[in-house]
Amino acid sequence: MRLFPRLLINHLAVVAVMASVFLIAAEVAAHPFIAHHVDQMVGLIGPQGARLRPDLYLGMRGTLTWALLTALPLALLVAALTAWVAARRVTASVRSLQSGSRALARGEYDRRLPEAGLTEFAELAHSFNVMAGTLGRVEQTRVELIGNVAHELRTPVSAVRGYVEAAQDGILPAGQALSAVAREVAGMERLVNDLSLVSRVEAGRVELKMTDVSLSELLLQVQERFALAYEERGVILEVADPPSSQTARLDPERAHQILANLLRNALRHTPPGGRVQVTVRDGEELSLAVTDNGAGIAPEHLERVFERFFRADAARTRGEGSGVGLTIARGLARAMGGDLEVRSAPGRGSTFTWTLTIP
C-alpha cells in the first residue's frame, strides 16, 4: 500500500479511537453530573418531584446521548477531512524529496527542492539543496581536475612522442633524444607526485613529523638551494637572518616544500632585475613573508591563486610548474597549525605570508 492511503487510514483510525473514548468517557462521567442536577430539580419541585426523578434522569441522559450521537458524524467528517489534508501535505513533501533524490542519483546536481510546507520538511529540503549544491561543486571540480591533468600531461606526452619519432627518423641522435625524453618523464613524475600530495593534504592524511625548527637554519638552507636559480634568472634573492634562538613548531621537510613553492612562484613572476625578499615577522604572531616586486595579482584573483591549476594569465605557458604548488603550500601550512595568505596589487608585486606555530 502506498504512503497516502496508509497515512489516511492511520489518521482515521486515531479519530475513531478518540471518538469511541470520548463517547464512553462522556457516558461514564454523565451519571454523577446528571444525578446531581436531578436532585436539585427535585428539591425545587417539592414532594411530587420524587415521583418524577426517574423520568427526569432518563430524559436528561437521553438528551445528552442524542446530542453526542448527532454531533459525532459532523465531528468525524471534519476530522476525516483534516486527516486527508494532512496526509496529502505529508505525502506531497515525501514525493518531492523522493523525486529529488532520484534526480540526484542520476547526476542531476542542479535539482533543487522548494523549501516550503511543514517546518521539518522545509528544513529537510534545505539540507537536500545544500547537499546537492556541494555535490555539484565536487562534480565540477572533478571534471575540471580531469581536464587540467589531461592538459598538463598533453604537452610532455606530445614532446616525448616527437623526440621518439625524431630518433627513429634519425633526425636526433639516440642519446640526445633519450635525455630529452627523460627530462619530460621527470616533469610528468613531478606532476603525479604533486597531485598525490594535494589529495593527501586535502583529505587530511599527510604525515607530519613536528619538531622545533630553527628559522635561521631553515632560511639558510633555502637560500643555498635557490641561489643559483635566481642568479641565472637575474633576480635578486634577499633572505633575512633571524636570531638563532628563533624557532617554530614545524615539519622540516614540509616547511622546505612550502618555501620552495613560494620561491619558485615568486621567481616565475618576477622579471630579470627584480627582487624577492624573505623576511621574518615577529609581532603578535610569528610569520615568514615572501615578497616580490613582480606584476602583482588582480583583486578578483587573490583567493583563486590557491586553487588547483588556476592561472590568472590563461596564456601563460603550461609546464611552468605543476599548477598546484600554492595549493600544496597552503594545505601544508594549515596542516601544521598555521595558514598562508596573500596580499597583492597589480604592478606592485605580491606578498605571501606564512603564519607559524610557536613552540
pTM for the predicted model, two decimal places = 0.59
- 193-203 burial by CB neighbour count: b if 16+ within 10 A, else e? ebbebbeebee
Is 264 among the domain residues? Answer: yes
When pLDDT is cut at 50, 70 and 90, the band that residue 266 belongs to is very high
Write out the residue range of the structural domain in which residue 194 sits: 122-202
Mean pLDDT for 156-184 is 86
pLDDT of 23 reads 67
Measure the CA–CA gap between 342 and 351, rounded to whole angstroms.
Answer: 6
Q: 170, exposed or middle or buried, with CB in 10 Å at 0-12, 13-18, 19+? A: exposed
Number of domains composing the chain: 3
| Same domain, yes or no: 221 and 164 | no
User: Which residue reads 459525532 in cell numbers?
Assistant: 72
The band of 231, judged by pLDDT with boundaries at 50, 70 and 90, is: very high
Domain end position, chosen among 42, 74, 106? 106
Look at 62-76, 153-167, 181-195, 198-212 and tell me which has the smallest mean pLDDT: 62-76
State the SS3 of 281-298.
EECCCEEEEEEECCCCCC
C-alpha cell at 114: 522548494
Tell me if residue 341 falls in helix, strand or coil.
Answer: strand
112: in domain: no
DSSP 348: S
Residue 259 domain flag? yes
Has residue 115 been placed in a domain? no
> For the domain that residue 296 is a member of, what is the CATH number?
3.30.565.10
Interatomic CA distance for residues 233 and 5, integer angstroms: 78
Poorest-confidence range of 1-5, 128-132, 145-149, 244-248? Answer: 1-5
Judgement on whether residues 198 and 219 belong to the same structural domain of the protein: no
pLDDT, residue 322, reads 60
Distances (CA, A) of 119 to 90, 97, 124, 210: 11, 14, 9, 48
Mean pLDDT, all residues of the chain: 80
CATH number at residue 161: 1.10.287.130
13, 43, 102, 204 from 92: Cα distances, Å: 21, 61, 15, 41
Question: Per-residue pLDDT tens for 95-109?
Answer: 777 788 888 888 888
Domain limit, last residue, from 106, 136, 161: 106
Asked if 288 and 154 sit in the same domain, the reply is no
Residue 56 in any domain: the answer is: yes
What is the per-residue pLDDT for 319?
47
Q: Verify that 85 and 149 share a domain, yes or no.
A: no
Contacts of 302 (CB under 8 A, 6+ apart): 342, 343, 344
Is 113 within the bounds of a domain? no
Which contacts of 112-121 are long-range, i.e. CB under 8 A and separated by 24 or more positions?
117/89, 117/92, 117/93, 118/89, 118/90, 118/93, 121/90, 121/93, 121/97
Q: Is 97 found in the same domain as 198?
A: no
Range picked from 4-13, 96-105, 125-134, 332-341 for highest mean pLDDT: 332-341
